Amino acid sequence: MGLKKSIMKYKKLAILTLCVLLATGCAAGGGETAVVGGSGTVPAGSGETAAAGGSGTAAGGGTETASAGAGTTEMEAGQNAYSYTEYPLERNGIALHLDCVKAENSEPEMNILLMHGSTYSSHEFDVDYEDYSLVRRLAREGYAVWRLDIAGYGQSGEVEDGLMPDTTYAAEDIRAAVELIARETGRDRIDLLGWSWGTMTAGRYAAEHPEHLRKLVLYAPILSGVGEAETTEPFSHNDWAGAAEDFQTREDGSFDPEVTDPVVIEMFCSSCWHYDGDSSPNGWRKDALVSKDTVLIDLEKITVPTLVICGDKDPYMDWEAVNASLELLPEGSELKVIPGGSHILLYEKNCYKEFQDEVVRFLMGE
């Protein structure tokens, strides 16, 4: 199946989305999500989270609000059971979606926050098919796995100006989430993983707030500008082809089933349509679409042990910067390049297990 769009593909995806939602027993609205069975991604809510309770002042003149009383539900996958909780959070007048997944009946001592990329939201870490889900792997390893949707993305509140949530703005959303996690868990330091643009936002936060971090993972890092281009449209126009564009293809343009299971592609794209719809904010473009000699992640300012991990077929990598990254990062940092992996290697047949294993090994090592 190639990347060319068609009405038939859209209809097929809409039907698949409905089937996934029915299979998972997703509930809409109310701030709580019941997930039953082993298909689809974890949450499916109203796209908004009501916030109440105390308030604090956010950097940049905004406000943030968090409340107790988060709704916890149970979810199952195969022989494993997990709990899923949403934590109401508001910053700058916008409700932010923050959730946490952990093994059922567990009390994790370790917390990790996963940060999504530039177009699709935090659901992208949890394609629950076989053992592909990074979220569930980390939960089985003893983590409380937190996911945040930046303002304007996924289940977080909408933004009027899609150019507003740039890297600096997103780093402040991360700060608000980390502070809530600290209050909820009583632990001041967490681990942080970012993917693609998420490495820029996580890297910015890590450079400014190292006191709250234990370790950092930069997966498919955008270390330098990807080329100059003017950004005028406040929102991107998402489509099925865009959701699937990072999956490796054969010479004829069709997906390569030897690289990625077609079921994984369908489930990933289905989640993109369900959670992110036909548009996403374009603020990231102002930061990333600059000259290739512009540094986007100041590695010298990062003071916590960092894993840089990517695939050797990732077209977005600045390999000179990647290969020099350990010269700038602190002691205890590592670089791992996975053969055959692309920008979306966490869902590629011959890469995802090595990716998960390397992340877990790094995080849980002394």
Give the model's pLDDT for residue 71.
61
The pLDDT assigned to 296 comes to 97
DSSP 286: H
Q: What pLDDT is stored for residue 7 in this prediction?
A: 27
| pLDDT computed for residue 240 by the predictor | 74
The domain that holds 25 is classified in CATH as: 3.40.50.1820
Tell me the pLDDT tens digit for each residue of 320-358: 999 999 999 999 999 999 999 999 999 999 999 999 999
Using DSSP, state whether 214 is helix, strand or coil.
Answer: strand
The two tokens of residue 202 are 């996580």
Look at strands 306-311 and 213-219 and give their pairing: parallel
Give a yes or no: residue 44 inside a domain.
no
Q: pLDDT category, 243, cuts 50, 70, 90? A: confident
| Count of other CB atoms within 10 angstroms of residue 116 | 25
**Most distant pair of Cα atoms in the chain: their distance:** 56
* Residue 301 tokens, joined: 């300012």
175 close to 205: Cβ distance less than 8 angstroms: yes
Q: What is the pLDDT of residue 56?
A: 35
pLDDT value at residue 21: 33
Q: What is the pLDDT of residues 119-144, one digit of tens each?
A: 999 999 999 999 999 999 999 999 99
- Examine residue 312 and state whether it is found in any structural domain, yes or no: yes
User: Which tokens go with 15?
Assistant: 């039907």
Q: State the residue range of the domain holding 238.
A: 7-39+53-364
- pLDDT confidence of residue 59: 36
Q: How far is CA 364 from CA 104, 174, 228, 280, 358, in A?
A: 20, 22, 39, 34, 10
Residue 238: what pLDDT? 86
pLDDT tens figures, 68-115: 446 666 666 556 899 999 999 999 999 999 999 999 999 999 999 999
pLDDT mean over 226-246: 88
Any domain includes 232: yes
Q: Quick one: pLDDT at residue 242? A: 78
Task: Supply angle C-alpha 15, 353, 177, rounded to 5.
Answer: 70
Question: Tens digit of pLDDT for each residue in 263-308?
Answer: 999 999 999 999 999 999 999 999 999 999 999 999 999 999 999 9
Q: What is the tens place of the pLDDT at every residue in 172-217?
A: 999 999 999 999 999 999 999 999 999 999 999 999 999 999 999 9
1 assigned to some structural domain: no
Let me know if residue 340 belongs to a domain: yes
> Is the torsion defined by CA of 21, 124, 106, 80 positive or negative?
positive
Write out pLDDT tens, residues 18-68: 333 333 333 333 334 333 233 334 443 333 333 333 333 333 334 444 444
pLDDT of residue 70: 63
- Answer yes or no: is 294 within a domain: yes
Work out how many domains the chain is built from and give that number.
1
Q: What are phi and psi of 86, to 5 degrees?
A: -100, 140
Q: What is the pLDDT of residue 3?
A: 28
Pairing of strands 213-219, 190-195: parallel
pLDDT of residue 244: 86
